[in-house]
Amino acid sequence: MIQDHKHRWLAFGSAALVATFLAVCGGGNPCVPSRCTSGALMTIPITSSAASLAGTTVTVCRNAECYTATLPDVPVAGGGGTGLFFSGTTFVLGTLWQNASGSIGLDLEWHLDSSQLQDGDHYVVTFTNAAGVVTPVLDKTATYTQLPPSPEECAGGATCSIANLTN
């Protein structure tokens, strides 16, 4: 469930936050950048074999807004993940993984401003294989947990909203 991945979610935004830290804090102030990004993180275990995923697309929807990407080749077991690029958006990201055990997983991130998120948002993820067969892999409703900025954050630290996805 998404709550279990809160720390992982916070780590995803670290690269962008370093740039924000340097710009906002000037490098000399004893503050830290905002520690989170609002939206949803979905971790999806994939039971298909790497070979059977060739030509598969993934569609991610939040309410009626949907974006599609083609799954890349499954990376080598235990190596780094491979990014997915969703057409028409810069705020939906994906990473395809193969763990050392050989299990395959897909992490999906949907980044939004907290003001755009509402309890009851509906997230749906489907796979469409090369033959055109559509398989639903996630269908959940969100409630959002507010994470206020800490006193150590740089001036203007934002309150973040992290999705808790349930059936």
Report pLDDT for 161: 80
**pLDDT on residue 10:** 34
pLDDT, position 7: 34
Higher pLDDT, 45 or 152: 45
Q: What is the pLDDT of residues 59-79, one digit of tens each?
A: 999 999 999 999 999 999 888
**What letter would DSSP give residue 34?**
-
Identify the three-state secondary structure at position 22: helix
- What is the C-alpha to C-alpha distance for residues 134 and 98, in angstroms, rounded to an integer? 22
Identify whether the C-beta of residue 48 lies closer than 8 Å to the C-beta of residue 37: no
Q: 88 lies in which domain range?
A: 2-166
Q: How many domains does the chain have?
A: 1
In tens, the pLDDT along 8-42 reads 333 333 333 333 333 444 444 556 655 567 889 89
**Alpha-carbon Rg of the chain, whole angstroms?**
17
* Whole-number Cα distances in Å, 94 to 23, 28, 63, 77, 126: 27, 34, 18, 18, 14
Q: Is 15 helix (H, G, I), strand (E, B) or coil?
A: helix
* Structure confidence by residue, pLDDT tens digits, 122-161: 999 999 999 999 999 999 999 988 877 666 666 555 667 8
**DSSP at 79:** S
Give pLDDT, residue 35.
58
The larger pLDDT score, comparing residue 27 to residue 164, is at 164
pLDDT of residue 164: 83
- pLDDT at 155 (0 to 100): 58
Joined together, the tokens standing for residue 166 give 């349930």
Q: What is the pTM of this model?
A: 0.73
State yes or no: pLDDT of 92 exceeds 90. yes
Among 8-17, 32-41, 85-94, 110-119, the minimum mean pLDDT is found in 8-17
Euclidean distance between CA atoms 72 and 116, whole angstroms: 30
